[in-house]
Amino acid sequence: MTYNLTGVAASESPLQLAQAVNVDIMQGMFGTMLLLALVAVIFMAYYFSTRDLRQTVMGTSWITFVLAVFLRAMSLVPNLTLFITLIMAALAIGFFWASDR
């Protein structure tokens, strides 16, 4: 497998570098994998600080949605990833709201 690295070598900013890596090397999965790694770190950090699983899921899903919006604005994640995080955040907040009643 041969990679075309001219886009990576010609990048002039960190954003262009990330977009070139996303398109040329990782076939559009760089942003999604970055988001998944951040979700794992945020989930563990949030859970170990609160020890409340419901609050952890709600907080992590909301932070994940905000990060997905920023990554979508930089064209690093596809629309499907953004919609999945939106649904995940809405469901987590809805379940959290319903469980308090």
Q: Determine how many CB atoms are found less than 10 A away from the CB of residue 41.
A: 11
Question: Would 6 be classed as within a structural domain?
Answer: no
Q: What is the pLDDT of residues 56-78, one digit of tens each?
A: 999 999 999 999 999 999 999 99
Question: Would 73 be classed as within a structural domain?
Answer: yes
Domain residues for the domain of 47 are: 28-99
User: For the chain, what is the domain count?
Assistant: 1
Asked whether residue 88 carries a pLDDT value surpassing 70, the answer given is yes
Question: Would 93 be classed as within a structural domain?
Answer: yes
Question: Would 75 be classed as within a structural domain?
Answer: yes
Question: Would 9 be classed as within a structural domain?
Answer: no
24, with CB counted inside 10 A (0-12, 13-18, 19+), is: middle
pLDDT at position 17, please? 87
Question: Would 33 be classed as within a structural domain?
Answer: yes
